[in-house]
C-alpha cells in the first residue's frame, strides 16, 4: 500500500520548518565561531604579554648576573689575598662541618649505655670501611 501524496500545504510547511531549522543552526554556528574567535584573540594577547614579561625578566636577570660577575672579578683583582683567605676559611668550615656530621653518624654504631658503662662499638674494624 502506498502512502497518500502530501498536499502542497504540508510540503510547504515542512520546507519552511526545515529552512527555519537550517537558519537557526547557521546562526548558532556563527555565534559560536564569533565567541571562539574573540576568546582566541584574548588568549593570543595574554600569551604575547606573558612572553614579553618573561623576556624582560630574563634580560633583567642576565644584567644582574653580569653585574655580580663583574663585581666579583673586580674584588678578586683588587683584594687577592682576602679572596684566598675567604676560600681557605670556607674550605676549613666545610671540612669541620663534614667531620662533625660524620662523627654524628658514627655515634649511631654504639650500643645504648647503662649508667657507669663505657661506650663500645657494636661492629668490628672491618665494618667501619665505607
Q: Is residue 31 part of a domain?
A: yes
Contact 123, 109 (CB under 8 A): yes
**85: buried, middle or exposed (CB in 10 Å: 19+, 13-18, 0-12)?**
exposed
Query: Which residues, in sequence order, are bridge partners of residue 121?
Result: 110
**Number of structural domains found in the chain:** 1
Q: Is residue 3 part of a domain?
A: no
pLDDT at 61: 97
pLDDT at 10: 72
Q: Is residue 122 part of a domain?
A: no
Residue by residue, what is the 3-state secondary structure of 15-26?
HHHHHHHHHHHH
Q: Is residue 8 part of a domain?
A: no
pLDDT at 112: 62
pLDDT at 71: 96
Q: Is residue 7 part of a domain?
A: no
24: domain range?
A: 17-106
As a whole-number percent, the residues of the chain with pLDDT over 70 amount to 73
DSSP conformation letters of 34-92: HHHHHHHHHHHHHHHHHHHHHHHHHHHHHHHHHHHHHHHHHHHHH-HHHHHHHHHHHHH
Q: Is residue 49 part of a domain?
A: yes
Segments in the chain below pLDDT 70: 1-9, 104-114, 117-130
CA distance 66 to 72: 10
Q: Is residue 5 part of a domain?
A: no
Q: Is residue 11 part of a domain?
A: no
Query: Which residues, in sequence order, are bridge partners of residue 110?
Result: 121
CA distance 2 to 9: 20
Amino acid at each position: 500500500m502506498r502512502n497518500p501524496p502530501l498536499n502542497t500545504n504540508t510540503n510547504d510547511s515542512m520546507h519552511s520548518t526545515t529552512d527555519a531549522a537550517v537558519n537557526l543552526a547557521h546562526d548558532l554556528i556563527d555565534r559560536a565561531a564569533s565567541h571562539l574567535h574573540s576568546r582566541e584573540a584574548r588568549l593570543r594577547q595574554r600569551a604575547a604579554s606573558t612572553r614579553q614579561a618573561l623576556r624582560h625578566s630574563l634580560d633583567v636577570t642576565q644584567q644582574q648576573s653580569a653585574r655580580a660577575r663583574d663585581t666579583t672579578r673586580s674584588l678578586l683583582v683588587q683584594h687577592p689575598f682576602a679572596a684566598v683567605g675567604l676560600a681557605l676559611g670556607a674550605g676549613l668550615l666545610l671540612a669541620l662541618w663534614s667531620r662533625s656530621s660524620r662523627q654524628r653518624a658514627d655515634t649511631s654504631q654504639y650500643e645504648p649505655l647503662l649508667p657507669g658503662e663505657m661506650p663500645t662499638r657494636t661492629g668490628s674494624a672491618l665494618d667501619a670501611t665505607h
